[in-house]
Every structure is written in C-alpha cells, then in structure tokens.
Amino acid sequence: MVSDEAMPGGTRARIRCDILGQGAFTEMQGGLFRPWLGPAYRATVEQVGGWMVQAGMTWRIDAAGNVVGRYEGTQDNAPSLLIGSHLDSVHDGGRYDGVLGVMLGIEVVAHFHALDVRFPFALEVIGFGDEEGSRFPVSMLTSQAVAGRLTEIDPTLRDRAGQSVAQAMSAFGLDAARIADAARKPGETLGYLEAHIEQGPVLEAEGRALGVVSGIVAQKRFEITIEGIAGHAGTMAMALRHDALVAAAEAILAIERIGRGGAEDLVATVGRMAVLPGATNVVSGRVVMSLDVRAALAADRDEAAQAIGAELAAIAARRGVTIGLAEMQALAASPCDPVVTRALSNAVARVTGAPARHLASGAGHDAMVMADLAPTAMLFLRCRGGVSHNPAEAVLDADVDIALAAMVAFVETFAPVCPASTPWKNLPEGTPA
C-alpha cells in the first residue's frame, strides 16, 4: 500500500475528501451531511487542523468557527495570500464540493514546505464553516464574518430544531457576540484563491481538466409562506377549500415558467418545502418553502423576482389564501479580479499547455463574499457529468494533480513581482505563462 506521504498531492487531496465523507465526519447514515457547528463539523475541523500541521502550518479556529492554517513568510506577521473553500455540505451531498478546495490549499503549502520555500507573504488556508446555508436559512455566514460584512448575528435565525445561531455557537465554544473578531484587518490579506469543482458540464464536454472563473452570478433567496385553512379531507367540499398546498403547487409551476421565460442564464428554484399540519386526512393549512433566483445580471434577477411576486399575489387572490414573500439574502454579481485572474490563467496555461478556458459560475461561492476583502480568483475542476450536491460527485485524480500544479504555479507567478508591500496591482500585464 502506498503511504499517504508518498502519493501525489492531488491524489492525497482526493483521498482525504473521501475520508471526510464518512464516519464521524457526517451526521447522515449512509451519506454525507456536515452542517456548520455540528458534531461532524467539529470532527472535521480537528482532522483538517491535524493535516495542516503535517503540511507545515500552525492552525486555529477563528471567531466564526472557520479553521485557519498559516505558513509564515520570510518575515513573521506578513500579510497573507489566502487559499480556501468551505467544509460544510448540503444534505446527502457529494464529497468534493468545497472541501476539495481546502485539501488542495493544504497541498499547496505542503509542496512549498517540503522544498523549504517561503515568500515575502504568508500562505494561509481557510476552511469556511457555513457556505451552503444548510443549517440556517442564510448562506456564507462565516465568509461574511471574515470579510467584515457580518458584525452581529440576527437573533431570529434558527435551524429546523429551533436552535439559534448564538446557541449553536455557544455549544461549539464560540461567542456570537464576538463574531466580528473574525474580520480581517485592512492590508492583512493580499488575495484570495478558491479551487472548486465546476458543478456543471462545460469542462467535461470540452475535454478540459481546468477552467478559470470570470465571475459569479447575482442571486437572491426568499422564504415563501402560504396561509390557507386546514380542514378535514373527507368533509371539506372541494369548492370551499383554501388549500395552501395546492396554491403552493401552482406557485411552483409559475416560478418555473418565469425562470424559463427570462434571460438564458436566469434560474429560479424551489428546493425546500414544509407542509402543515402534514397529515394524510387534513387539507393543508400552511406551507413554507424556499425560493432561489439567480442570473448573471442583477437586473434580470430582480425582474424575475418581481414577476414571481406579482404571480404569487394573483394566486393568493384566486385561491383565497395569503402568500408572503420574505427576502432572506441578496448577493450581487461578483466578477473575479482581472489582475489576479490573469495570473491564474497564466498558471493554468503553463501547466496544461493551452490557453485557459474562462467561464462564469452559476453557483455561489465564498469568493463572491471575499471579494469585499481582497482581489479574488477561482479555479474550476472538471467533475463527472457536471453532477454536484449529490453523492454521485466524482473527480479524476489526474485532474486534481493538474489543479494542484496550477495553484503552485499561481503562487510562483506573482511571488517575484508581488512583495507584501505592493500587492497585486503591480503584477505586469505581460507576466509570462
């Protein structure tokens, strides 16, 4: 058997993702579910911290519950290049979404540590705790904290068990009142690099291992609440019903129609629904469901959201129910930084021997939040069938090895021309590939 230390770094990164997809690292029997601040998340943080130490880093848990590893530069306390992604997962998710980017960050540091190479800046690897929003109804809470967007916790945010964010943080050993302490100070972070599976079919269709992200689409999340009248299924006449679930069914079809009828990149999704009282012999009196609307342009996203709101009002009037549409989160479109993206494109071209393929991300990522803090770049890896948020997620070891080589080349590309005192802006247009 090949030892962990002897195998290629990309292969080791993939295997570690598989390790984190089972046992103590998941809260789901026979599948993967790793919500922020749960017992599986704690076990994952501790394991990732151990791997960070093996790679030559010190590690800590910040005030938002993120795990952070640090590989010092030639001078202590130098600003850092931050590499990362997220450790949480959706329910019954795949093993590579998010966590592969963290494992690759660790391998980048391990590469330079093995060569005893340091830079005028530190290398830091971060595993964000909450990107998916799979526990609380808002996503990217922990990257928002790091970027300085989140200075206090909304006390109304609760998980399905009724536990508040503050209670969950306290159980983990954190203080919600101090979450702002996770924010990075100006000048501490030179840039942010995130590697992630594509979650789409483009790279596989074109026979490419890697792609460079040009930007991330705008998105909004809503909670739809439909209030009808519950009643006995056997005695309430059809003509007299105010069935919340039937209204919800009509609303979902309307949402699909509006999503299909807008801009080519517009998508609208209902992904979660709770039906009350939820009995077989009771007409539904209440439905609560999610709505996710995304488009490359915020104007297209907002136009669709307004059209959905108007359609919901018409359904409510027609069916004698009330429908509330509450906006839970709004994320602006986030173009990746052109200078940092050029450096990443050069690195990809260097290791693949071909110009980098640029593509937009329809999925949201921590990078879109981290853009508030520092220049950002994203690397996409081919995934089988474009499948994600699904146990069928799969990547090729060879692709992960190529991604690692590109990330190493990325660090090497800007290091000679980007001392800590003059970050990124001085990277010349003609930086060689």
In our burial notation (b when 16+ CB lie closer than 10 A, e otherwise), range 292-316 reads bbbbbebebbebbbebbbebbeebb
| Whether residue 143 is found in the same domain as residue 197 | yes
| Whether residue 263 is found in the same domain as residue 307 | yes
Round to whole Å and give the CA distance between 160 and 65. Answer: 20
Any domain includes 432: no
Structure-block tokens of residue 330: 């709004």
99-114 and 39-54 are packed helices; what angle lies between their axes, rounded to 10 degrees?
20
Domain boundary among 331, 358, 384: 331
Round to whole Å and give the CA distance between 206 and 363. Answer: 20
Round to whole Å and give the CA distance between 57 and 158. Answer: 35
Structure-block tokens of residue 273: 């629904």
Round to whole Å and give the CA distance between 431 and 347. Answer: 10
| Whether residue 228 is found in the same domain as residue 156 | no
Three-class SS of residue 46? helix
| Whether residue 293 is found in the same domain as residue 351 | no
9-19 and 397-414 are packed helices; what angle lies between their axes, rounded to 10 degrees?
120
Chain centroid to Cα 407, Å, comes to: 19
Any domain includes 129: yes
Q: List the domain range (segments joined by +) for residue 324.
A: 218-331
Percent of the chain with pLDDT over 70: 94
| Whether residue 354 is found in the same domain as residue 206 | yes
Residue type, 273: M
End-to-end CA distance of the chain: 37
Residue 346 confidence (pLDDT):
94
| Whether residue 294 is found in the same domain as residue 306 | yes
Structure-block tokens of residue 392: 């069928």
Taking only the tens place, the pLDDT of each residue in 212-225 is 999 888 899 999 99
| Whether residue 313 is found in the same domain as residue 343 | no
Contact by Cβ (8 Å): 174, 63: yes
Round to whole Å and give the CA distance between 354 and 349. Answer: 5
Any domain includes 423: no
| Whether residue 125 is found in the same domain as residue 192 | yes
Contact by Cβ (8 Å): 271, 139: no
| Whether residue 95 is found in the same domain as residue 240 | no
Q: Number of folded domains in the chain?
A: 2
Domain boundary among 312, 331, 350: 331
Q: Position of tokens 């800046």?
A: 121
Domain boundary among 331, 348, 377: 331
Residue 425 confidence (pLDDT):
46
Any domain includes 425: no
Residue 432 confidence (pLDDT):
35
Three-class SS of residue 292? strand
Round to whole Å and give the CA distance between 321 and 243. Answer: 8
Residue 375's nearest CA partner among 431, 423, 414 is 423
CATH number of the domain within which 210 lies = 3.40.630.10
CATH number of the domain within which 257 lies = 3.30.70.360
Any domain includes 429: no
Structure-block tokens of residue 66: 């993120």
| Whether residue 16 is found in the same domain as residue 147 | yes
Taking only the tens place, the pLDDT of each residue in 269-312 is 999 999 999 999 999 999 999 999 999 889 999 999 999 999 99
Residues whose CB falls within 8 Å of the CB of residue 350, separated by 6 or more in sequence, listed in order: 406, 409, 413, 433
Residue 84's nearest CA partner among 21, 131, 22, 120 is 131
Radius of gyration for the chain, computed over Cα atoms and rounded to the nearest angstrom: 23
Residue 362 confidence (pLDDT):
85
Any domain includes 427: no
Any domain includes 1: no
Residue 35 confidence (pLDDT):
97
| Whether residue 136 is found in the same domain as residue 251 | no
Any domain includes 192: yes
Counting as low any pLDDT under 50, the low residues of the chain are 1-2, 417, 419-433
Cα–Cα distance list, 138 to 56, 153, 295, 365, 378 (Å): 34, 11, 19, 13, 22
| Whether residue 243 is found in the same domain as residue 258 | yes
